[in-house]
Every structure is written in C-alpha cells, then in structure tokens.
Amino acid sequence: MTVQQGMKKNDTYSQSFKALFRNLLPFVKPYKGMIAGTLLLTLIGSFAAQVNPLLVNETINRVEELLRQPDPIVNGMRLLLIISAIMLANELLNIGIQFGQKYFGEKIRIQVGSDLSQKAVDRLLTYKMSFFAESDNQTGYLETRINRGVESLIRLVQNFFLDILPLFSTAVIALVVMFNANMYVGLMALVIIPVYFFVSQRQAYRLKGWRMQLRGQRERKNHGLINIIDSITVIKSFVREKTEGEKQYELQMEMLDNQLQTRRTSYVFESLKSFIQQIGVVLIIILTVYLVLNGQMGIGAIMMHIMLFRNVSAPISQLHRIYDQVNDALIYADGFFDVLDNDDAVEVGGDIKAKDVEGQFEVNNVNFTYPNGKKALTDVSLTLEKEKTTAIVGLSGAGKSTLINLLCKFYKPDNGVIKLDGIELEDYENGSLRDNIGLVLQKNHIFKGTVYDNILYGKLDATHDEVIEASEKAFLHEQVLLLPEGYNTDASNLSGGQQQRIAIARLFLKNPPIIFLDEPTASLDAIATEHIKMSLDAIKEGRTVVIISHSLSQIVEADVIHVLKDGYLVESGSHENLYKINGEYRKIFDASARSLNLDKMIDTIAV
C-alpha cells in the first residue's frame, strides 16, 4: 500500500467516524443532562481510583518510619485506624460512584436504543412501496440491517460510557500522578503505551476477518434453521432430511474451525500483552527501586507505582475490544442510517382530502416499471366508471395486480396520469384516498393476533355488533363459532379460505365507496364462493368495483371488461362484445370453459 492510499483510507475512516458521530448526536442529545452527570461521576471515580495507590505509599513509608521508632505497635495502631477508615470511606464512595455511573450509563444506552428502534419503525412506515420492493430492502435484509445497526450502536454507546470513558480517564489521571511523583517514572509508563497500542491494534486486525466470517456463519446457521422449520413439509415430502442435515453439519464444522482459530489468536495476543505489561511492571520497579535507594523517594513508592501503572495499562489491554466495537458500529451504522435517512423513499402526497368520493377513475397513457426494471404496464388507458363493476382479465403476469397497485397509489406511474373524480391521484392526500378504497388481495395478510382483532383492523372503532355483522356477511361467523376459542383463536391458524374471509369481513367493516378485489375467492370452496359472491353482489350496489378473477362467473356479469396482455391493454367491452371479437378474451374464456369440462357438466345437470 502506498502512503497515499494509506492516507486516503485513514481519511475515509475518520470521515465515516465523523458521520457516525453526527448521525448519533441527535439521539444522544436529549439525554445531555444525564450524560453530564455520568461524566462527572466518571471523573470523580477516576480520582478515587488513585486514592489506594497513594494511601499504600503513605502507609508503607509511615510503617517504615515507625519501625525505626521505639514503640512501633502503639503508634502503629493509630495509623492503622486512620488508614482503614480512609480505605473504607473511599470504597464506599467508589461503590456509590460506580452504581450511579453504571446505572446512568445503562439508562442512556437503553433509552438511546429504544429511540433508535422506534425511529426506524416510524420512518419505515412513511416509506413508499417501491422502497420495499427493492431487492436489498426485502424483509429479511431490512430487518437484519436495522437490528444490527441498533445493536452495534447501543453497544458503542454502552461501552463508551461504561468501559472506555472510566478506564481512559483513570489512566490519564494515573499517568499525571506518576509524572508528578517523578518525571522518569511517568515517561517510563508513557513509553509502554505505544507498544501496547501496536499489539492491540494487530490483535484487532488479525481477529477482524475471522470475526466477520463467524458472524456470517452464525447468520447462515440461524437462517438455515429457520428455513428448515419453515419448509419442513417440503423437506419431508422430498425426503431431504439427510441433505439438509449435511448442509448444517458442514457449516457447523466451518464454524468450529473458525472459533478455534479465533480463540487461539486471542490467547496468543493476550499472553503477549500480559508479558509486555509485566515487562512494564519490572521496568517501573527497577527505576523506582533505584530512585528509592538514591534517596529520592520513600520505599512506598515502589508499590504505588506498580498500582498506578496498572491503572495506566488497564484500558490499553481493552483497546482491541474498543477497536472491534467502533469498527462494527462503523460498518452497521452506515446501513442503518441509510435506511433511516432515506428522504427519497418517503411517500409524498398532495393536499386534497378525498371526501364524498364518487369513484370515477381515468387512466391515461400509463407506463409502469417496477424498481427491479420489469416493465409491467405499457401505455394503458382506460376508464373505471363510477358505480359500475369493471373486470380486469388476463393471463398470469399480465399486469392486473400492478394496475390495482397504481390505482391505490402504492406506486407512481413512470409517466401518464391517473385521475379520480377528475383530480390527479398525486394531488390527493394518501391516507384520505386510501380510506375510500377497500382492497381484498390475492395474498391476504393476516396479522399476528386473534380473528376478532384481524377483522377489527378494517375499522378500529367498530362496535362488537358491527364486527359480528361483517363476519356474518363474509360467511365467517359460523365457522368461527366452531373454532375452540371462537373469535379469540389465533388467526394465523385458520385455513387459507378462512383467512380470505377475514379479508372480506374487513372490507365489509370498512365499507368504502371504491372496492378492488384481486382474486377475492381464489382459495374458497365452491359453496363459500357462491355465498361470498352473493355478499359481494350486495355490497357492489352504488360503488365502483374492480374485480380481477380467473373464475368466469364473476367476470361475465361485469359491466365492462378490460383485457391485459403482457402489460398492454388489448381489448375492452362487455362480455358479449369481447366474445364476438374472437381475440385474447375469447381465448381465455374458451380455455376456462374447457377446463371446467362444461359439456360433461351440462349433461350431468340435464340428467
């Protein structure tokens, strides 16, 4: 590495260190009173830590004097009492200081940690859909980035207040005391520091690669375990127990090697450091003994200097840990604050509140590309008439769900305009717009919690009767009553069809003027589909409804049908007209009809 490269590296290091500090500052600032208190206690503690060495010095010197006097025991008793009293008082003071210092340090850590986590949650909730669709922001990754960031920052704050600061201020003051006693002694203690520093730095450097590897392996192992549990059905059905076990075993062996290596390196460096420390002690002893014999100081100085030197060297032996933690914080804080400060990802909305919405949508020349570069809609123009039911038809991947995403303003079109009641969607305030839209999706999300709470999500202030009524309309009520815990059953234990009914019940409870149904009956049985269709038919009255369905029965009676193919709008019209055109719609329709084996069915019904 050239000098220039080295400088550059150091430069970015200090830059990212500064950035870390700047980012962290607003989170620490609210606790500045507490921090000042902690710092004060730390300072007092550092002074108190020097009392013992000084006292030992005093004691030994006095005892030595006493030995030369005629009645040492009687005079010694008084000295003993005074010294014991001071030592005890100092210890009590120390306990108090340490308690306060640790308690406040922890408190700062806990509070900063919870502020960081909450800020991450609050920020994420303001971000737009495209942020979550980005590949490096997917659930697992985002979660890890946030958790790791918070963890490493908390650790940094904690160590700064609980370890680094007290140790270093104690060391500095001990050094000052040593210089004060004798310049050469001070210099001797000072000289050891760079050696120590160097060794600690080497240790941190050598361990860094392994530590990173180890962390990666731990993550992979956790992930592997979660994967196994999640996919146990597939694993068993393909009889892959052995393969999965072997995969884990290999990882385990890698980890084992790595851990042993890490331990070995640690021990080598720890021994080296304690050896250097010992050399330091020996040198200090030699120098002090020389000065004592020279008559420049009392014999007590030997012990005092050893004790002071330990105060000086203590933080330096922790240096590699501090290195590690600062490095961790630098690595993970970046990812964390990137997530936190992503102003571009914040969902923007207009000022117009959507009130008394009629529900007429105009889509004009809309193009849309997902963040991963997949072009999902090309030049789509269509109208969704208010109080009418519009069906969107197309093969899998045609762009049907995407269109709904755009109508809900989850994504912004690349270009083109979507208007609701003559006003651009962009100009609406997001919350008020979505309050007017009811959405039943292909994959209906069920939150962790009871069936009741999951339905209530549709209207948080709904009464008990309203919830039950919605559940009845969604043909869920009777099924829920059969469950062992009724409405208190954990909703994630329900069957796919039952979960879909929860989503529909939510819609009934919300009761919005605009309804988007993306395969609302996809996982329902025939009887339930028929029931739900009746309920939906009832709610359709006077509302703008868009329905996506692969099931013909729900399509044929729509007022207008739009057909999408590979992101293009290819046909529009009523069922009869589209059928006559003999194009894409007819192709899909005929295939669906054939798959139903209609001839056979009609025969059966006729008999």
Binding interface with Mg ion (CB under 5 A): 401
Report, in Å, the least distance between residue 399 CB and Mg ion: 8
Element (H, E) at 253: helix 241-293
Residue 521: CB minimum distance to ligand ATP, A: 14
User: H helices within 318-409, ranges in order?
Assistant: 319-340, 400-407
User: Among Mg ion, ligand ATP, none, what binds residue 45 when CB lies within 5 to 8 Å by partner kind?
Assistant: none
- Between CA 186 and CA 176 the distance in angstroms is 7
Q: How far is the CB of 374 from ligand ATP (least distance, A)?
A: 4
| Residue placing its CB nearer to ligand ATP in the complex, 427 or 566 | 566
When the beta carbons of 31 and 131 are compared against ligand ATP, the nearer one is 131
Residue 134 falls in which region: left (phi positive, over 0), alpha (psi -120 to 50) or beta: beta
Identify the H or E element spanning 392: strand 389-393
d(CA 81, CA 91): 15
Q: Choose from ligand ATP, Mg ion, none: what does 374 bind? Cβ within 5-8 Å by kind.
A: ligand ATP
Residue 396 binds which one of ligand ATP, Mg ion, none, with CB within 5 to 8 A depending on kind? ligand ATP
**Distance in Å, CB of 402 to ligand ATP, minimum:** 3
Answer with the entry of Mg ion, ligand ATP, none that 372 interacts with (C-beta below 5 to 8 A by kind).
ligand ATP
Angle at 522 between CA 518 and CA 525, to 5 degrees: 145
Is the alpha carbon torsion for 588, 381, 558, 576 positive or negative?
A: negative
Which chain residues interact with ligand ATP by CB under 6 A?
133, 370, 372, 374, 376, 394, 396-402, 442
Which partner, Mg ion, ligand ATP, none, binds residue 573 by CB below 5 to 8 Å per kind? none
Shortest distance (Å) from residue 511 CB to Mg ion: 24
In this complex, which beta carbon is closest to ligand ATP, that of residue 138 or of residue 488?
138
In terms of CB distance, is 345 or 376 closer to ligand ATP? 376
Contact partner, 604, from Mg ion, ligand ATP, none, Cβ < 5-8 Å per class: none
To the nearest whole angstrom, how small is the minimum distance from the Cβ of residue 192 to ligand ATP?
Answer: 59
Q: How far apart are the first and last CA of the chain?
A: 89
Q: Which does 370 bind (CB under 5 to 8 A by kind): Mg ion, ligand ATP, none?
A: ligand ATP
Is 374 or 445 the residue whose CB approaches ligand ATP more closely?
A: 374
Q: Of 332 and 516, which has the nearer Cβ to Mg ion?
A: 516
Residue 236: alpha-carbon gap to chain centroid = 32
How, if at all, do strands 415-420 and 560-565 pair?
A: unpaired
- Closest to ligand ATP by CB, 47 vs 370, is 370
Q: Work out how close the CB of 403 gets to Mg ion at its nearest, in angstroms, rounded to a whole number.
A: 9
**Judged by CB, which is closer to ligand ATP: 308, or 563?**
563
Asked whether the beta carbons of 100 and 110 are under 8 A apart, the reply is no
State the binding partner of 128 from Mg ion, ligand ATP, none, CB within 5 to 8 A by kind.
none
> 319 near 196, Cβ under 8 Å?
yes
Rounded distance between C-alpha atoms, residue 477 and residue 24, angstroms: 51
Q: How far apart are CA 437 and CA 433, in angstroms?
A: 7
Binding partner of 376, given Mg ion, ligand ATP, none, CB within 5-8 angstroms per partner class: ligand ATP
CB of 356 to ligand ATP, least distance (A): 30
Between 360 and 401, name the residue whose CB sits nearer to Mg ion: 401
Q: At what angle do helices 139-159 and 3-28 cross, to 10 degrees?
A: 90
Six token digits for residue 562: 């739009």
Question: In terms of DSSP bridges, do strands 361-369 and 437-440 run parallel, antiparallel, or are they unpaired?
Answer: unpaired
- CB-based closest residue to Mg ion: 401
Amino acid at the residue 23: N
- Considering the complex, what minimum distance in angstroms separates the CB of residue 24 from ligand ATP? 34
Number of C-alpha atoms within 13 angstroms, CB side, residue 211?
Answer: 15
Residue 45 contacts residue 170 (beta carbons within 8 Å):
yes
